[in-house]
C-alpha cells in the first residue's frame, strides 16, 4: 500500500481547512467579545452550508468524470483525459491565485473579518454573519474539491489523506482559539506555501501530460484525420530532453514519491520543462516577493467561553 498518495491531499486540505478554521475562529471570538452568543448558530449554519456546497460541487464534477468513464461513446476515453487535464489546469490557477492572494491579504485578514462582523452586529444582520463564514468555507472548499478530483485516479488513499488533513485543520484551529497551543502563523503558512508551490508545479506537469495523452488518444481514435499530433513521441510536449527510466523510474520509490509530490517524470520533454521554469519564475517569484513585507506573528485571541 503506497501511503505517499495520501500526502498531497493531506497537505492541501490541512492548509485550506486551516484558513477556513481561522476565519470561523475569528468570527466566534468577535461574537463572544460582543456578547452575542445568539449569532453563533449562524456561524455553524454558514460552515455547514459551505461544506455542503463544496461537497455538491465535488459530486457533480465527479459524476461527470464517472459518466465519461462508463460511457460507450467512441471518443469518451480521450474526452475523459482532456477533462482531467482541464481540472488540473483549473486547480493550478486556483491554488496559485489563492496562495499569492492569501499571503498578501493575511496581514489584514483578521481586521477585515472583525470589521465585517462588527458591521453585521450593528446592523442586526444575521445573514451577514452567515455570508462571511459561508464565503470563506466555500472558497477553500472549492479549491480543495478541484484538487481532490485531480487525485481521484489514485484510489481511496487521497480521500483518506483529505479526511486527515481536514480533521487536523479543525483540531489545530480549535486548539489555537482555545489557547491550548500557540503557533507562529506566519511561519506555518510560509512552510505550507512552499509545499503548495511544489505540489501546484507538479499539477501543471500533470495537466500537460494528460492534455498530451488525451490529444494522442483522440488522434489515434480518429486515425489521424484531424492532424492533432505531428510527432509520434508527443502531441504538445515537444522533443524529449531526457529518459531516466533506467536510473530513477517514476513507478518505483523514490521516483514515485517525487512524481506524486512534485510531478516528476522519468521522461522529460521540452514544453513541460519550459512551463515548469516559467511557473517558478512567475508564481514562485510573486509568492516569495509577497513574503518580504513584515507580517504580524501573533495568533488570534482565544475564544471566550
Report pLDDT digits (tens) over 27-65.
888 888 888 888 889 999 999 999 999 999 888 888 877
| pLDDT level of residue 279 (50, 70, 90 thresholds) | very high
Structural domain includes residue 302:
no
Give me the mean pLDDT over the 61-82 stretch: 79
Q: Given a cut of 70, is residue 293 above it in pLDDT?
A: no
Structural domain includes residue 303:
no
d(CA 173, CA 133): 15
d(CA 117, CA 127): 11
Structural domain includes residue 214:
yes
pLDDT recorded at residue 302? 44
Q: Give CA separation, 161 vs 30, 218, 279, in Å.
A: 32, 33, 26
Cell 489515434 -> residue? 220
112-139 per-position pLDDT tens digit: 788 888 888 887 777 888 988 998 898 8
Q: Given a cut of 80, is residue 252 above it in pLDDT?
A: no
- Burial of 286 (C-beta count, 10 Å sphere; 0-12/13-18/19+): middle
Grid cell of 261 as nine digits: 509530490
d(CA 230, CA 82): 18
pTM to 2 decimals? 0.77
d(CA 115, CA 304): 19
Structural domain includes residue 59:
yes
Do residues 199 and 262 lie in contact, with contact meaning Cβ atoms separated by under 8 Å? yes
Average per-residue pLDDT in the chain?
Answer: 81
Q: Residue 162, SS3?
A: helix
pLDDT recorded at residue 240? 85
CA atoms within 13 A on the CB side of 16: 30
Number of domains in the chain: 1
pLDDT recorded at residue 155? 64
Structural domain includes residue 298:
no
Domain encompassing residue 36: 1-290
Nearest partner of 167 among 3, 13, 9, 8, judged by Cα:
13
Structural domain includes residue 296:
no
Nearest partner of 135 among 149, 121, 116, judged by Cα:
116
Q: Given a cut of 50, is residue 164 above it in pLDDT?
A: yes
Residues 6+ apart with CB under 8 A from 279: 96, 200, 201, 204
Omega before residue 258 within 30° of 0, cis: no
Please, which residues bridge with residue 268 across strands? 242
Q: Given a cut of 90, is residue 19 above it in pLDDT?
A: no
Total Cβ atoms within 10 A of residue 53: 16
Q: C-alpha angle with apex 282: 18 to 193, nearest 5 degrees?
A: 20
Do residues 242 and 267 lie in contact, with contact meaning Cβ atoms separated by under 8 Å? yes
Do residues 203 and 16 lie in contact, with contact meaning Cβ atoms separated by under 8 Å? no
Structural domain includes residue 300:
no
Q: Given a cut of 60, is residue 295 above it in pLDDT?
A: no
Q: Given a cut of 50, is residue 303 above it in pLDDT?
A: no
| pLDDT level of residue 300 (50, 70, 90 thresholds) | very low
Q: Given a cut of 50, is residue 304 above it in pLDDT?
A: no
Q: Given a cut of 80, is residue 107 above it in pLDDT?
A: no
Grid cell of 247 as nine digits: 536510473
Nearest partner of 98 among 61, 142, 64, judged by Cα:
142
Structural domain includes residue 301:
no
Nearest partner of 247 among 262, 274, 267, judged by Cα:
267
- Burial of 64 (C-beta count, 10 Å sphere; 0-12/13-18/19+): middle
DSSP state, residue 184: -
Amino acid at each position: 500500500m503506497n501511503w505517499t498518495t495520501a500526502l498531497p491531499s493531506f497537505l492541501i486540505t490541512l492548509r485550506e481547512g486551516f484558513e477556513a478554521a481561522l476565519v470561523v475562529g475569528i468570527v466566534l471570538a468577535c461574537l463572544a467579545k460582543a456578547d452575542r452568543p445568539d449569532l453563533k448558530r449562524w456561524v455553524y449554519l454558514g460552515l455547514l452550508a459551505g461544506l455542503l456546497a463544496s461537497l455538491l460541487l465535488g459530486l457533480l464534477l465527479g459524476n461527470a468524470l464517472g459518466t465519461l468513464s462508463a460511457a460507450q461513446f467512441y471518443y469518451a476515453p480521450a474526452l475523459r483525459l482532456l477533462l482531467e487535464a482541464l481540472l488540473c489546469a483549473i486547480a493550478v490557477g486556483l491554488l496559485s491565485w489563492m496562495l499569492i492572494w492569501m499571503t498578501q491579504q493575511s496581514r489584514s485578514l483578521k481586521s477585515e473579518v472583525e470589521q465585517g462582523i462588527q458591521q453585521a452586529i450593528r446592523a442586526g444582520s444575521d445573514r451577514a454573519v452567515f455570508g462571511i463564514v459561508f464565503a470563506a468555507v466555500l472558497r477553500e472548499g472549492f479549491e480543495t474539491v478541484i484538487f481532490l478530483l485531480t487525485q481521484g485516479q489514485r484510489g481511496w488513499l487521497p480521500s483518506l489523506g483529505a479526511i486527515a488533513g481536514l480533521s487536523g485543520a479543525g483540531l489545530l484551529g480549535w486548539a489555537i482559539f482555545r489557547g491550548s497551543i500557540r503557533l507562529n502563523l506566519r511561519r506555518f503558512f510560509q512552510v505550507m506555501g512552499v509545499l503548495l508551490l511544489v505540489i501546484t508545479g507538479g499539477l501543471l506537469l500533470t495537466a500537460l501530460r494528460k492534455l498530451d495523452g488525451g490529444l494522442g488518444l483522440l488522434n489515434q481514435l480518429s486515425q489521424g484525420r484531424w492532424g492533432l499530433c505531428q510527432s509520434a513521441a508527443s502531441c504538445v510536449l515537444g522533443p524529449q530532453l531526457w529518459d531516466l527510466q533506467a536510473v530513477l523510474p517514476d513507478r518505483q520509490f523514490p521516483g514515485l514519491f517525487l512524481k506524486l509530490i512534485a510531478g516528476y517524470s522519468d521522461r522529460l520533454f521540452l514544453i513541460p520543462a519550459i512551463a515548469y521554469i516559467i511557473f517558478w519564475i512567475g508564481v514562485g517569484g510573486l509568492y516569495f516577493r509577497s513574503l518580504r513585507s513584515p507580517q504580524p506573528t501573533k495568533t488570534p485571541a482565544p475564544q471566550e467561553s
